[in-house]
């Protein structure tokens, strides 16, 4: 049994060294299939250019000052919008998780906002904030706010009641209960909500740039469609996907750093 186990471990290590990360194989295989199909004509290269062409176009974005400005505009917009949506979302979610009265009052409103298609609210945001930067920031913040509120509230509610009771027995104030019980216990769910909200913020931010922006990835997507520049369209989508992947990766690292006890959950 020990020999069989050592052989399996050795084989798995060899696969890891030679083949890289196994979870990336499916994506790499799909790209290779796409490349070959586009090159030999199984896919129409006008609508599905080879991935090598898309990557080359994406690389040229980094050398073009105008495209660099678009990427910086999107990243800045997302950073500000995420902060605007996440901070009040965390505070409100924690408060709703602690206070049953507040939860009963606000939960129906949060549920309604959660059920509404966020993209359908953009015309209303345009009326309120105008055609400038405010409406686009509000769109990103709205996409982040709801998932953060819901997950923060559920994170507090998932903490066992006995911890709150012990804190009260020792005379902890409301602030101390939040700082020592509610917040540490809900951190994994808070960061999960932030991860979901960030993904939604990227989607809505790019959509807002398509509809009313004069710069950003959404603007590249829209202008690429207008002039039928398909590689540029796919390159902009690639950058949007990379932003989502990197944000999820960073939030996972933050989660392991601030809540190591939740590793593997």
How far is CA 103 from each of CA 94, 113, 144, 148, 156, rounded to the nearest angstrom? Answer: 10, 15, 19, 15, 12
The answer, yes or no, to whether residue 213 has pLDDT greater than 50, is yes
What is the separation of C-alpha 103 from the centre of its chain, rounded to a whole number of angstroms? 26
Among 213, 71, 93, which Cα is nearest to 155's? 93
pLDDT exceeds 60 at position 193: yes
Distance separating alpha carbons of residues 154 and 87, to the nearest angstrom = 16
Beta carbons of 233 and 58 less than 8 angstroms apart? no
Residue 2 lies in a domain: no
Q: How confident is the model at residue 179 (pLDDT cuts 50, 70, 90)?
A: confident
In this structure, are residues 58 and 239 in contact, taking their beta carbons and an 8 Å threshold? yes
Residue 149 lies in a domain: yes
pLDDT tens-digit series, residues 138-175 = 999 999 999 999 999 988 888 887 877 787 777 777 77
Burial class (CB in 10 A: 0-12, 13-18, 19+), 97: buried
Residue 110, in any domain of the structure:
yes
110-144 per-residue burial string, b: 16 or more CB within 10 A, e: under 16: beeeeeeebeebbeebbeeeeeebebbbbbbbbbb
Q: Structure tokens of 30?
A: 């799909």
Range of the domain at 202: 51-258
Structure tokens at 173: 């104030």
What CA–CA distance (Å, rounded) separates 256 from 265? Answer: 11
Angle at 141 between CA 135 and CA 144, to 5 degrees: 150
**3-class secondary structure, 46:** coil
Residue 56, domain member (yes or no): yes
Q: What is the CATH number of the domain that holds 59?
A: 1.10.3720.10
57-75 pLDDT, tens per residue? 999 998 889 899 999 999 9
- Terminal alpha carbon distance of the chain: 30
pLDDT tens digits along 86-143: 999 999 998 888 888 888 999 889 888 888 888 888 888 888 888 888 899 999 999 9
Contact between residue 89 and residue 144 where contact means Cβ atoms under 8 Å apart: yes
Q: What is the pLDDT of residue 76?
A: 93
In a domain, 34, yes or no: no
233 falls within a domain:
yes
If one counts the domains in the chain, the total is 1
The answer to whether residue 9 sits within a structural domain is no
Are the C-beta atoms of 197 and 145 separated by less than 8 Å? Answer: yes
Which is more confidently placed, 185 or 40? Answer: 40
Do the domain assignments include residue 22?
A: no
């Amino acid at each position: 049994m020990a020999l069989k186990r050592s052989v399996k471990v050795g084989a798995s290590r060899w696969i890891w060294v030679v083949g890289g990360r196994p979870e990336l194989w499916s994506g790499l295989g799909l790209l290779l299939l796409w490349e070959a199909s586009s090159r030999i004509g199984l896919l129409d290269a006008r609508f599905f250019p080879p991935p090598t062409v898309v990557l080359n176009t994406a690389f040229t974005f980094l050398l073009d000052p105008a495209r660099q400005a678009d990427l910086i505009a999107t990243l800045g917009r997302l950073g500000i919008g995420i902060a605007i949506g996440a901070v009040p979302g965390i505070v409100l979610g924690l408060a709703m998780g602690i206070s049953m009265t507040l939860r009963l009052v606000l939960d129906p409103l949060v549920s309604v906002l959660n059920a509404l298609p966020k993209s359908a609210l953009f015309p209303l945001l345009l009326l309120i904030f105008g055609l400038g930067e405010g409406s686009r920031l509000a769109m990103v913040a709205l996409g982040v706010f709801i998932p953060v509120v819901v997950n923060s509230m559920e994170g507090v509610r998932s903490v066992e009641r006995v911890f709150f009771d012990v804190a009260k027995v020792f005379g902890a104030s409301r602030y101390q209960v939040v700082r020592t019980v509610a917040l540490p216990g809900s951190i994994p769910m808070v960061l999960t909500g932030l991860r979901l909200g960030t993904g939604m913020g990227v989607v809505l931010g790019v959509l807002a740039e398509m509809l009313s922006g004069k710069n950003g990835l959404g603007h590249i997507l829209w202008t690429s469609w207008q002039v039928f520049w398909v590689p540029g369209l796919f390159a902009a989508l690639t950058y949007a996907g990379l932003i989502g992947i990197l944000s999820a990766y960073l939030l996972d690292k933050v989660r392991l750093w601030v809540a190591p006890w939740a590793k593997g959950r």
